[in-house]
Structure 1
Amino acid sequence: MKQSEEGTQSSLPDDIALKIASLLEVPDLCALGSCSRFWRSLCGSGCIWESLVKERWASLSSLTLFDESSSSTPTKAPISKGWRGFYIKRHKEMAGRVSAVTKFVEKCFPNESLEVGDYLKAIEELSTMQVGFKDVQMFLFKPKCNVLLNLVGLHYCLSWLEVPGEDVIEALQSCKISERRVCVKWWKLGRLFYGFRMRDESHSRWVSLADLAMAKEQEVLVVLQRGAIHEVLQVQISAADPTSTPWSCQSAQRQD
């Protein structure tokens, strides 16, 4: 085994090995690091983990870690333990933050439907917590998540993070959830016709996550973004067949 490890080190230049490791995603990088002492040392390199930190959390692009041996002087090449440890700590923090949002959303749809106010609040919480695109992919784009959580993550990426639709659809397809569908239903105040108020209008639309990501259902996105304001009385998002869901809408009384 020792000879095999030495052979690996001598047959593969360090710069090429480092380049290979730097192209891997975190799970593959960790798996490679468990192969031998050589790969464990190389896969723990600070430059690799620094790149992973700043790629996943773009807001930390100017971050500089401090060497533990010095309390005042930042090091431009942090020890590998610092960057790897920071990544692990940050990952756990993000998992806890997204879990809190997940629990909030799950409490809000006991009948498989979600009011738009709660929906927008969940998205705002993700923004407050500085959740990144990679975090959404890891924690909210999982097939085992309710499709309403998938939708919250999708809308957050498009509207708050301003991730290009092409990148979002690629992530949805990679996670095998692009064809999952939701039903968005909204009620609008009836139009005035010769001084009389017409009956309130009910609209219902089944849409896939892929269609929303590619802006094929722009009207639905606008309704979700604006919520229940102006002429829109109520908006509900459902993961179930609307014919079997106890939809309800109490029109507000208004005077013109």
Structure 2
Amino acid sequence: MAGTNPSYSHVGASLVQRDAFISQQSLIEHPAVSICLLPFLDVWDVLSLGSCSKSLRGICESEETWKLLYMRRFDPLTLDELPKYYQASAYAKGWKTVYITKYMNLPAGISAIYIKCHHPMDGDFYPNHILPKIEYVKRLILSYEDVYFFFIRKELSVLINLLGLYYAFFCLGVSVEDINKDMVTRNVADKKVTLNWCWPSKHWNGFYMQEEKCTKVFSLKEIVERGMSFFYFLKYASKCPEFGRHEVTEVTVRFHQNDHL
């Protein structure tokens, strides 16, 4: 990875810069080939091709091209699995309009997350403070590019970092290796999270089990490498507080903005 670019790659990053890859004449003669290739370009390259080449303008402006651009940029699902709102808008306004509208509205959705996560970092969070924010993020249609630039940043709170990591891992299926690589690049891998919980005292099978208070400190890298089990703990502690023969109580999370405690 070089500079601040994410570790993912875009196939055929730019036809403009790779004239030797395929000629413009070939694209005109084989529109089916161009329809397959154009969605893998940066959207600005597609717009440039359409504006500087009359022969390619029709292909660059086609519904099929913009539908695939939308699906690659915002949602890697099949057309049938896209939210009904976006399908209806696409049929009424065209996929290019839907793409631009979504692109323009994206900052507002991310800003709303920043506002929801505004909380003094020296305080404790309970699971019911964190889990609703996860559900809000899951409703957004983000790409890994969005997660990389808007969530994996050192100056942001650890909670926002965690929400981005959750989305990348569970919603986008980004590999642990790629996430770790990008966390190192963005200097967030060593940020710390403290998890506190309590096993209350109880009698079990004739034995008296004393109350046990536990504390575990994780780095963001450790949370990712453990398969995000941190989130499973929070989820089940809030909905089903009994783990095996024990009940877990007093679950809190403390975030540390700096790399040290």
Check if 1:131 corresponds to 2:141.
yes
Cα distance in 1 for partners of 2:116, 2:155 equals 17
Task: Return the offset for 1:121.
Answer: 1.4
Look at both structures and tell me which one has the larger radius of gyration over its CA atoms. Answer: 1
Seen in structure 2, the aligned counterparts of structure 1 residues 23 and 139 have a Cα distance that, compared at 3 Å, is same
Seen in structure 2, the aligned counterparts of structure 1 residues 115 and 195 have a Cα distance that, compared at 3 Å, is same
Contact 1:183/1:205 (<8 A) preserved = yes
Where does residue 253 of structure 2 map in the other structure?
Answer: 236
Of 28, 34, 49, which aligns to 2:48?
Answer: 34
Cα distance in 1 for partners of 2:78, 2:46 equals 26
Check if 1:206 corresponds to 2:212.
no
Normalising by structure 2, report the TM-score.
0.63
Where does residue 199 of structure 2 map in the other structure?
Answer: 189
Check if 1:66 corresponds to 2:84.
no
Cα distance in 2 for partners of 1:88, 1:191 equals 57
Of 12, 16, 21, which aligns to 2:38?
Answer: 21
Task: Return the offset for 1:30.
Answer: 0.3
Cα distance in 1 for partners of 2:117, 2:47 equals 37
Seen in structure 2, the aligned counterparts of structure 1 residues 180 and 44 have a Cα distance that, compared at 3 Å, is farther
Where does residue 11 of structure 2 map in the other structure?
Answer: none
Task: Return the offset for 1:32.
Answer: 5.8
Where does residue 96 of structure 1 map in the other structure?
Answer: 108
SS at match of 2:189: coil
Where does residue 9 of structure 2 map in the other structure?
Answer: none
SS at match of 2:117: helix
Of 51, 57, 67, which aligns to 1:50?
Answer: 67
Map 1:146-225; keep pairs closer than 5 Å: 146-159=157-170, 161=171, 163-164=172-173, 166=175, 169-171=177-179, 173-174=181-182, 176-177=185-186, 179-192=189-202, 198-208=210-220, 210-215=221-226, 218=229, 220-225=230-235
Identity %: 14
Contact 1:116/1:237 (<8 A) preserved = no
SS at match of 1:203: strand
Query: What whole-Å deviation, never above 9, does each CA across 1:165-197 have from its counterpart, x for those lacking one?
Result: 52x642553463462432222121344377766
Cα distance in 2 for partners of 1:141, 1:243 equals 18
How many residues of Structure 1 are paired with residues of Structure 2 in the alignment?
A: 215
Contact 2:198/2:211 (<8 A) preserved = no
Query: What whole-Å deviation, never above 9, does each CA across 1:10-60 have from its counterpart, x for those lacking one?
Result: 754224665543322xxx330463376118835444322211222322567
Contact 1:169/1:213 (<8 A) preserved = no
Cα distance in 1 for partners of 2:78, 2:192 equals 34
Contact 1:186/1:204 (<8 A) preserved = yes
Of 82, 87, 96, which aligns to 2:99?
Answer: 87
Map 1:3-22; keep pairs closer than 5 Å: 12-14=25-27, 15=30, 19-22=36-39
Normalising by structure 1, report the TM-score.
0.64
Task: Return the offset for 1:61.
Answer: 1.7
Contact 1:49/1:83 (<8 A) preserved = yes
Cα distance in 1 for partners of 2:260, 2:207 equals 34
Cα distance in 1 for partners of 2:157, 2:70 equals 28
Seen in structure 2, the aligned counterparts of structure 1 residues 182 and 225 have a Cα distance that, compared at 3 Å, is farther
Contact 1:30/1:43 (<8 A) preserved = no
Unmatched 5+ residue regions in structure 1? 1-6, 69-81, 245-256
Cα distance in 2 for partners of 1:34, 1:158 equals 33
Unmatched 5+ residue regions in structure 2? 1-18, 81-86, 242-246
Query: What whole-Å deviation, never above 9, does each CA across 1:68-96 have from its counterpart, x for those lacking one?
Result: 6xxxxxxxxxxxxx222211111233332
Paired AA for residue 141 in structure 2: V
SS at match of 2:91: coil
